[in-house]
Amino acid sequence: MLKIYTDGSCISNPNGPGGWAFVVIEEDGYEYYFSDKNACTTNNRMELTAILEAISSVKENQECIIFSDSQLTINCAIGKWKRNANLDLWEEYDKISKNKIINFEWVKAHNGNKYNEIVDELAYKEAKNA
């Protein structure tokens, strides 16, 4: 099963520069990282964009676990909470998550988790460079 850590960042939230990042850890231990930026966004959009970009790399019928420090994003993704904002991104999520086995696990931010710290740093760097 793939392990994926995601994070989003926005400076001067809302409507400030933002960034997103994710790392995929394959079963054999191989890791790969992706990140990008957006000039005008929100923190929640960047959190969700990180997940969207990450699951785009997951093959059909492949199982993955996504670790995120965003309880909002996780709870909206699993249907526990109502989706009230970023409906365009949630529509995209519903499309690209079909036929993929996606599990979520919340991880506390800034708590020493190696991969959460890495994606946090990458997303923040992207936001600073947006």
3-class DSSP state of 21:
strand
The catalytic position among 27, 29, 79, 110 is 110
Tell me, what's the pLDDT at 48? 98
The catalytic position among 79, 120, 121, 126 is 120
Q: Judge whether 22 and 52 are in contact, CB under 8 Å.
A: no
The catalytic position among 29, 47, 94, 117 is 47
Domains of the chain: 2-129 (3.30.420.10)
pLDDT digits (tens, 9 = 90+) for 71-114: 999 999 999 999 999 999 999 999 999 999 999 999 999 999 99
Kindly list the distances between the CA atom of residue 51 and the CA atoms of 75, 108, 125, in Å, as whole numbers in the listed order.
Answer: 13, 17, 18
Burial (Cβ within 10 Å: 0-12, 13-18, ≥19) of residue 10? buried
Of all helices (H) and strands (E), which one includes residue 18? strand 16-25
16 strand-pairing partners: 41
Residue 47 appears among annotated catalytic residues: yes
pLDDT digits (tens, 9 = 90+) for 6-52: 999 999 999 999 999 999 999 999 999 999 999 999 999 999 999 99
Residue 28 appears among annotated catalytic residues: no
Residue 110 appears among annotated catalytic residues: yes
Residue 69 appears among annotated catalytic residues: yes
